[in-house]
Amino acid sequence: MTQKLDYLKESPSQTAGPYVHIGCVPNAVGVTGVYAQDLGSALFTGPEPSDAITVKGTVYDGLGSALTDAMIEIWQADANGLYASAQETRGQADPGFTGWGRSAGDLATGEFSFRTCKPGRVPYVDGRDQAPHITFWIVARGINTGLHTRLYFADEVEANALDPVLGRVDPARVGTLLAHPEADGIYRFNIYLQGEGETVFFDM
């Protein structure tokens, strides 16, 4: 017998609370002895390659204040455009690179940081090459559902111009998805949740 469920009401949404950090990045918030290092804190499982890069940034709210309780996760291909995934059929991904990272951000400034590599180009669903990019997932206070966005590299001008995803974004807002070189091997990618310069988020 099938029971009708139309009388049930949707429960209220919950934002990310303090236990997110305690459970996901305990070392970052001073809870030691759970993991030797927080999961996702290192994308390289062996020696770093000479062309490793650092991606830094800060998440800002609608008033322009830095969020000090944001948690960021990234997912990307390796330098050859291959994912560390069972679904990867184009070749063997770099065994010394996980492709996944997590950063709690600095508890005083909110700045997150990832030591990673610039990913290679991966195919879109129609076979066209996408520009090098990193997928971001953001949770913090006031966010009921994790936000997805992408980081593209401002110095990949030609690849960005041909990217099938960027081609569907309002040209006036493409800049919100670009990470800019800050120094040799260091890129800055700030994320704005609301207001002027609001980052483009994707419905995933």
14-18, 28-32, 42-46, 182-186: least confident range: 14-18
Q: How far apart are CA 21 and CA 15, in angstroms?
A: 13
DSSP designation for 126: T
CATH 2.60.130.10 is right for the domain spanning 35-192: yes
DSSP designation for 90: S
State both tokens at 168. 């569907």
Is the separation of the CB atoms in 88 and 80 below 8 Å? Answer: no
Domain ranges of the chain: 35-192
Task: Name the pLDDT band for 14 (thresholds 50, 70, 90).
Answer: low
Residues 6+ apart with CB under 8 A from 141: 15, 16, 67, 69
The stretch 142-166 carries a mean pLDDT of: 94
What local confidence, expressed as pLDDT, does residue 52 receive?
A: 97
